[in-house]
Structure 1
Amino acid sequence: SDGERLLIVSGDPLQRQRISQALWSLNEESFLANGMAGEGHEDRQPILLSEMPEPVNGARFMAIADGLWREGASSFTRIFFLFDDRTLQHARETWRMLRGREEVEHYYWKQDGGRWVQAG
């Protein structure tokens, strides 16, 4: 929703850099301002990229970009857990673990011809 902040977490510094570049360069009218943890002014960043699940920018949403589940330091309203074929088995184990938590609503989306569709 409008004005919400996002924390993007990845243990891979090259992946964080690629994500940052992509967000800045969507196009002139719709770039998404972002910053890296450790570079200062983290609390001002609408989108903060970090290797730690700590929302120092006040984010209530977290995207885990490297396919490795991490528990948030605080309770996030929503967590996006992104994975690929390389991290699929870990994602399945995480899904089973989260399904056992009563307070968690979980949804699975997949890409279909360039679109995201809700699955299973």
Structure 2
Amino acid sequence: MFYHLEHQPLDKVLPMLIEKTLERGWRAVIQLGSEERLEALDASLWTYSEDSFLPHGTARTGHSSEQPVYLTTGDDTPNGAGVRFLIDGAVAASFSGVTRIVYLFDGNDGEAVAVARGQWKAAKAAGCGLTYWQQSGDGRWEKKA
């Protein structure tokens, strides 16, 4: 699944998608492009909403196998997650090992769009079922492919 962000930032969209993942009883791993971004997301998931937080952990926090949401910069999946989120330029080393891969990218960033196109082609060549969602002006998602 590819999510083309255009009108809302990743920091607003990602928590909603993680909540939906957890509501379905699935575990998630979020793969980020850098340690700095991992640390920032780690902090923001605890405080993204005044009345809620998203339980998660990293290699530093321990208990990796028990985390409902695990943050990493690598392709590890110690929590047995069925869903892998790829953000901030992270790319899939392989398209196996999880039920669903969710690739989020900023449509206003030419480099991010180019990386997403490369990931789309690689996933298609690997025989993955692909869907492409683009954010509309009112923030809703429109299925484009």
Scaled to the shorter chain, the TM-score interval is: 0.7 to 0.9
Aligned residue pairs, count: 119
2 CA distance for matches of 1:59 and 1:81? 15
1 CA distance for matches of 2:41 and 2:85? 11
Give the structure-1-normalised TM-score: 0.84
1 CA distance for matches of 2:94 and 2:121? 18
Give the structure-2-normalised TM-score: 0.71
Q: 1:5 to 1:117 in 2, by over 3 A?
A: same
In terms of fraction of residues, the more helix-rich structure is 2
Q: Secondary structure at the match of 2:143?
A: strand
Listed as ranges, the gaps of 5+ residues in structure 1 are none
Tell me whether 1:105 sits opposite 2:129 in the alignment.
yes
Residue 96 of structure 1, aligned match among 107, 110, 121:
121
- Aligned residue type for 2:134: K
Listed as ranges, the gaps of 5+ residues in structure 2 are 1-22
Q: Could you tell me how far 1:60 is from its partner in structure 2?
A: 1.2
Q: Secondary structure at the match of 1:8?
A: strand
Residue 54 of structure 1, aligned match among 42, 62, 76:
76
Q: Between the two structures, name the one with larger relative contact order (CA 8 Å, sep ≥ 6).
A: 2
Contact 1:36 1:42 in 2 (8 A): yes
Which deviations, in whole Å up to 9, do the C-alpha atoms of 1:71-101 show, x marking residues without a partner?
2485110001122323211211221222223
